[in-house]
Amino acid sequence: MRLDKYICKVLDLSRTRTASLLEEDRVKLSDRSVKASRKMQEGDILEIHMPPAQSLEVLPEKMDLDIVYEDEDIIVINKPKGMVVHPAPGHMEHTLVNGLLYHCQDLSGINGVKRPGIVHRIDKDTSGLLVVAKNDMAHESLAAQLQDKSLRRIYRAIVHHPFSHTIGTVDAPIGRDEKDRQKMAVTAKNSKPAVTHFTVLENFKDYAYIECSLETGRTHQIRVHMAYIQHPVAGDPKYGPRKTIEAGGQLLHAMQLELIHPRTKEKMHFEAPLDPTFAKVLAELEKEAANA
């Protein structure tokens, strides 16, 4: 295997990250500089000198947040389509975390400087509910609920192709796509278990409206699983077909959230209406079906 591919695979680094390590001469093979194309051989001694992590300051930013619920421990947000949840290098502004820091001043520090308070996330173009921890006690409780599945998340999606059955479960492990490091895939290599349950709410001529509940929380799980069973989420530029509904991203909405309050131990249920773009597409499909 080529040296650069070997580093990507073993350390789970992106191609860009690996290329920069090589360009900065941070990779040594048997104590010598080496090219990315060099083929790895048995007995090679590889040294990688990782640069120290940079502390990136995340600045509070005033923005209108759709707050569904808030108390001293947690805040439940209805995230709009198009908003990134947490900052990343090259994208340190206009994220949900920037807005939360302005609104709350303080969030749990368990996930570090770039992801304060973030217990779980939803993709940029997925809309809907997520809960944020305002202190470490709440964060630890919510993280434990994710593990034992008492924190429940229910999504709505419009997917390609009608179904012949009304309920189903996709039980297929998800890991990094070997051909494209920016994507996830159903794979047996370096993967983790992933389970998605779904119910068909309405079938249309070319699409279906479904509800999904997650048993696990892998990156892009619903999008990957639905594409795997040949029902990709409509509007999805990453996992869907080229010919799809133009909706500025995948038609996926985190509609319901159930959790046990970290302090009071009360069972709580939250629900958010469909994103306007999603609701418009669904109404058009229903109107088309009624006139057929």
**Phi then psi for 3, rounded to 5 degrees?**
-55, -45
- Domain hosting residue 39, numbered range: 3-48
Compare 212 and 16 and report the one with higher pLDDT: 212
- pLDDT, the chain, mean: 92
pTM of the model: 0.80
123 and 158 assigned to the same domain: yes
142 and 209 assigned to the same domain: yes
pLDDT of 55 reads 53
pLDDT of 53 reads 58
CATH number at residue 250: 3.30.2350.10
In angstroms, the CA 292 to CA 290 distance is 6
Tokens representing residue 165 in the block: 């059955």
On whether residue 280 sits in a domain, the answer given is yes
| Distance set, CA 123 to CA 9, 130, 191, 236 (Å) | 24, 11, 20, 11
Catalytic residue among 31, 44, 71, 123: 123
On whether residue 276 sits in a domain, the answer given is yes
In angstroms, the CA 283 to CA 272 distance is 17
> Kind of pairing, strands 127-133 and 252-260?
parallel
118 and 234 assigned to the same domain: yes
> From start to end of 138-180, where are the E strands?
152-160, 167-171, 174-176
Q: pLDDT by residue (tens digit) across 223-269? A: 999 999 999 999 999 999 999 999 999 999 999 999 999 999 999 99
In angstroms, the CA 292 to CA 285 distance is 11
pLDDT of 54 reads 56
CATH number at residue 40: 3.10.290.10
On whether residue 260 sits in a domain, the answer given is yes
169 and 257 assigned to the same domain: yes
Between vectors from CA 193 to CA 190 and to CA 194, what angle results, nearest 5°? 120
b/e 14-31 (16+ beta carbons within 10 angstroms → b): eeeebeebbeeeebebee
- 188-206: average pLDDT: 95
On whether residue 58 sits in a domain, the answer given is no
Whether 123 sits among the annotated catalytic residues: the reply is yes
Q: How many domains does the chain have?
A: 2
pLDDT exceeds 80 at position 105: no
In angstroms, the CA 2 to CA 243 distance is 36
- 95-109: average pLDDT: 88
